[in-house]
Chain A
Amino acid sequence: MNAESLRDLWLTYQSTVAFIGLNGLLALSVYTTLSCGQLSLAQAGFMALGSYASAVLTLHTQAPFPAVLLAGTLVPALVAVPLGLPVLRLKGVFLAIATIGFGEVVRIFFVNLDFTNGALGLVAIPQRTHVLTIYGALAVALFVLWRIQGSRAGYALEAIREDEPAARTMGIHATAYKLSMLVLGAALAGLAGALDAHFNFMVEPSSYSFGRVVEMLVFAVVGGTTVFYGPVVGAAFLTLLPEVLREVGGRIGLQPGPLRLFVNGLVLLLVILFLPSGLVSLPRRIRRWLEARRAAAHAA
């Protein structure tokens, strides 16, 4: 293969590679709160805040790109604090619903904001995000989450997920931990939003609907939420799958839109029913199954 065709290949798949990274970041933003047992669905709203904050900075000021990214990360993180304090008292489904409400309020706010062109959104944002920027950000996020796992704080989070009142009686300040993870998730979603805005040239309110956060949740759950890299595995799998399916589905006369939706839903359903720890637990499952078979063969 010569250099020319390698370049063509890269140009064809560059955006897919970028989307895997962005979706990985978004999946991690859902994972952070799930890791302490909280289902927050405010992430599309946080992402919108990051996208808009960064896009406005780029379009209206001379701010350098790193500063723009920082703003896109910090704005939703700061919003997450006053949001989290009242909302994190809610448990389970009620937290999910409250955060859905927050996400929709953010979206409708931008639909009605004339400064950012309402429902049309911002266009002609210069492309500043390189694929490497995305993967740099993803690497940092993974590093942080990797170091949390197994630390004193990491065990505190697991304890909160398993039994919050019992964790409190161990002296764990559950509210502080839950709030920190919500803020971290908001920062990751905002960062992904800022990177996305400067990769796709545009920002529009309709991309931050409830469907978007469901997609992030699907990535995280399908990949697995018991280890920090699970969500990224899920994002990669589900971003690549439609590419493959488009080829196959086209040949048997299925439209790509419904097919992608169908497969996403089906994969999620199968994982939640039969593989609750996600795709990352699959190798272990298979190994165990093989061992059991071998043992059975020995016995016989």
Chain B
Amino acid sequence: MGQQIVNGLFLGSIYALFALGYTLVFGVLDILNLAHQAVFMLCAYVALALVLHLHLPMLLAFPVSVAAGGVLGVLVERVAFRPLRGRSDSNISGLISSIALATVLEALALQLFGPDVERFPFGVVPDRSLRLGDAVVSELQVVIIAIALAMLAALTYLLRRTVLGRRIRAVAESPAAARILGINVDRVIASSFFVSSALGGAAGILFGLAFNSVSPDMGRTVELKGLAVIILGGMGSMPGAAVAGFALGLLEVFTVAKIGSSYRDAIAFGVLFLVLVVRPRGLLGPAALREA
């Protein structure tokens, strides 16, 4: 029991980080950024390359690759979203253009790194484990959960207490009003893509470390799980995404333990489907957003 809770929180922390990035952009732009998973994947590769080829310690490689993820996010916004702004069907065309960009980035990764799973070299991450009651917890799990929680706290602080956070919230509320208030809306949107993609990138690196595997298609499953998380949490809701991320992690771990591993993925989509049909605003989402 204790073991499963730890495992669930561990998986959930990665889902939560990934989904927060998704939902941040959705909250600001009302657009689903399906290139998020490509950033997730590429950041894991960047971290891997820094460790393998530049022999950086993980402690340094992590922040550098997270920043690279942020920059990549700004690029994604420039290429796939900004040109569409103001088009009447921009929420569907943005979805499609981000799929297109994700495909291009995945192809680049395939060409550069090949289709095979790559691993971090031995000794990059701590491999000791400790006992917590009846649960065996690896140091890596503890570190990952801690990093995820720290980033959640940092994001909360950023959105609530800083000028940028206030501006992001203003743009999310109403871009037109924000513009009247003299806010540079384009720059705020770019900043939210930076933050969003940094979170997604961090999730990718942690995912790569946690399962010690990095591959061009590693983002695909997480992408769909992330959708389930933001729907469950309520589109655009940050606390919702965090809570739902952990909830899905726990739910999956318990499904594997009680029902069997083959239904693990069905849980996420079953939940997603049910929430959309029964309570479309999710756990903590604003009311009456998504029905015609």
Contact = CB atoms under 8 A, between A and B. Distances in A.
A/B: CB atoms within 8 Å of each other: yes
Interface of A: 39, 86-87, 89-94, 96-98, 100-102, 104-105, 108-109, 111-112, 164-165, 209-211, 214, 217-218, 221, 254-255, 257-262, 264-266, 268-269, 272-273, 276
A96 B95 contact: yes
Given A102-B273, A108-B263, A210 B220 contact: yes
Interface residues of B, number: 49
Given A94-B235, A97-B231, A211-B220, A39 B272 contact: no
Nearest to B102: A265
Given A97-B32, A101-B227, A261-B104, 7 more contacts: A86-B277, A90-B290, A209-B220, A211-B220, A264-B103, A266-B104, A272-B84
Contacts of B183: none
B102 A92 contact: no
Contacts of B228: 101
Contact of B265 (A87, A90, A96, A104): A104
A203 B31 CA distance: 35
A258 B107 contact: yes
A112 B263 contact: yes
A268 B80 CA distance: 11
Given A87-B277, A97-B272, A269 B79 contact: yes
Nearest to B114: A255
Contacts of A109: 266
B292 A210 contact: no
Contact of A105 (B87, B95, B266, B292): B266
B273 to A, nearest CB: 4
21 contacts: A91-B290, A93-B31, A93-B91, A93-B92, A101-B228, A101-B269, A101-B270, A101-B272, A102-B273, A104-B224, A104-B265, A104-B269, A112-B263, A209-B220, A211-B220, A257-B110, A260-B107, A265-B101, A272-B84, A273-B84, A276-B93
B97 interface: yes
Contacts, number: 140
A98 B99 contact: no
Contact of B80 (A108, A111, A269): A269
Nearest to B101: A269
Contact of A272 (B31, B93, B104, B272): B93
A261 B100 CA distance: 10
Contact of B97 (A90, A92, A164, A269): A269
Given A211-B220, A262-B108, A264-B103, A93 B273 contact: no
Given A90-B290, A101-B228, A217 B99 contact: yes
Nearest to A257: B110
A97 B268 CA distance: 12
Nearest to A175: B292
Contacts of A272: 84, 93, 96-97, 100
B115 interface: yes
B36 to A, nearest CB: 13
B247 to A, nearest CB: 16
> By CB atoms of chain A within 10 A, which of B101, B115, B276 has the most?
B276
A221 B111 contact: no
Given A101-B276, A264-B103, A272-B93, A92 B227 contact: no
Contacts of A209: 220
Given A105-B273, A108-B269, A258-B111, A96 B87 contact: no
Nearest to B228: A101
A87 B272 CA distance: 12
B215 to A, nearest CB: 13
- Interface centre among A104, A164, A218, A273, by most chain B C-beta atoms within 10 angstroms, is A104
B130 to A, nearest CB: 35
Contact of B280 (A90, A92, A217, A273): A90
B207 to A, nearest CB: 18
Considering residues A96, A97, A108, A264, which has the most beta carbons from chain B within 10 angstroms of its beta carbon? A97
Given A93-B32, A97-B276, A273-B83, A258 B270 contact: no
A211 B105 CA distance: 15
A109 B265 CA distance: 10
